[in-house]
Amino acid sequence: MSSNQVLLKWIDKRNKQQLEWINQYLKKHAPFSCLKELNPTGFEIYFQDNSMPFPISVLISDELKLFINKMRAAWRQKVFRSKKNGKRTYSFVMSTDIGKRLKTLAGEKNSIRETLEFIINERFDKELPYITELKEKTLKLQSKITEKGKDNLWIKEQNHKLYLKSNYQYDEIAKLKEEVKKLTQDKADLSNELKQLKIKHNNQFRNGNFE
């Protein structure tokens, strides 16, 4: 088995997605090369010239090793990103004995991440009814507060209207008082004029002067 084939042992013949990705990678980064399956030994990268294909490892073994390692790293990164879909990285500072305890809980079957997810999901499922109930009570309380706020706003608006109305009525009363005062004065003036006319008339009657 050539060093080329050894470096390509990570390729899975059954993984069509991986094979398609490798072919696309070669087209982009080494356009004159191709991946060839060698049954049953594995794979070989071949360089295609105008006459016939031959293993690229014959030409540049050192550079090929670096190239394949880069390709493998790129594939790992793609797999990592695919697995990370729906997940995110968290960073927490915890006491030093937590790591040992997590390893003990995980045992040999599960990873620490899976163990943490199981513990959190189990606790969440237990707390979910209380969380849901608390949310519902909070929503009801917020609804009541909103209604109270609307009621208070309506009361404030009514008070403001009453205030404006009372001010208007106060102004009207003040105007009426002024009119009454004026009418009272006019009445007094008229009474005085009538009194003067009566005196004048009586004097004329006594003196016989009816001009």
Q: What is the spatial distance between Cα 50 and Cα 32, in angstroms, rounded to a whole number?
A: 10
Task: Using the predicted structure, report yes or no on whether residue 57 has a pLDDT greater than 50.
Answer: no
pLDDT exceeds 60 at position 140: yes
pLDDT in tens, 71-90: 889 998 888 887 766 676 67
* For range 42-52, the mean pLDDT: 54
Q: Which residue has the higher pLDDT, 211 or 113?
A: 113
Measured CA distances, 82 to 5, 12, 88, 118 (Å):
26, 17, 12, 22
CA distances from 18 to 14, 22, 26, 77, 126 (A): 9, 6, 12, 12, 41
So what's the pLDDT on residue 179? 86
- In what helix (H) or strand (E) does residue 52 lie, and over which residues does it extend? none
Average pLDDT, the chain: 78
Q: Is the pLDDT of residue 100 over 70?
A: yes
Does the pLDDT of residue 197 top 70, yes or no? yes
pLDDT at 129 over 70: yes
Please tell me the pTM assigned to this model: 0.36
Residue that is written with structure tokens 């199981």 in the block: 118
* pLDDT at residue number 169: 84
pLDDT at residue 120 above 60? Answer: yes
- In tens, the pLDDT along 147-189 reads 888 888 888 888 888 888 888 888 888 888 888 888 888 888 8
Q: What is the pLDDT of residue 143?
A: 87
Instruction: Using pLDDT thresholds of 50, 70 and 90, give the confidence band for residue 48.
Output: low
Give residue 56's pLDDT: 46
Predicted pLDDT of residue 54 = 39
Beta bridge partners of 45: 35
Are the CB atoms for 34 and 70 separated by under 8 Å?
A: no
Res 109: pLDDT: 63
